[in-house]
Amino acid sequence: MRQSLVDHGLRLVAGGYVVGADGNLSVRDGEGLLITPSRVAYDRLQPGQVVRLDLAGAGDPSRSSEWAVHCAVYRSRPEVRAVIHAHPVFACVLAVRGEVLEALLDEVGPVLGGPVAVADYAPSGSAELAAAAVAGLGSRHAVILANHGTVTVGVDLEEAFYRLQVLERAAQVQVLR
């Protein structure tokens, strides 16, 4: 699982969904989670640097700055096994505009669970952001974080990553229409 987090981090950068060490990824691991560390660029991330936390966030202090979002999602959605937080450009345009991602493309409904809400603004790394992300996510598979980025979820990293790809493509279409 640690190697998969490293590999998907590299895919985030390669796809332009993040730059440097931005964003973060996690997978559920028993009663806790494995999450990427804070401020480690994905091209330098090693499996041994991936951090283990419990669902309250206790564990290694080098955990991602958005650990609270990941923990809150896992606590509220037992079926979720992977979470990706990214900063894709077109979805971030919607985040700044406060604009819901409409179901303009056929795949938005089945892949993302319908139109994607914009969660209320809260500062990065805060408990308020975690609560806003969970509320905005609801039962869907993606949420846009106001003035920030996105969160996608799945049964594994591959599904969460695919949902990120669909979210960004749909956001691009919506912005350019």
Positions annotated as catalytic residues are 66
Give the pairing of strands 118-119 and 142-145: parallel
Q: Residue 129 — φ and ψ, nearest 5°?
A: -65, -40
CA dihedral 117, 169, 155, 11 (to 10 degrees): -130
DSSP assignment letter at 140: S
Determine the Cα–Cα distance for residues 6 and 47; give it in Å rounded to an integer: 6
Token reading at 177? 């229409």
The strands making up 118-119's β-sheet, listed across from edge to edge, are 51-54, 32-35, 24-29, 82-86, 149-154, 142-145, 118-119
Annotate 110-141 with b (16+ C-beta within 10 A) or e (fewer). Answer: ebbbbebbbbeebeeeeeebbbbbbebbeebb
Give the pairing of strands 82-86 and 51-54: unpaired
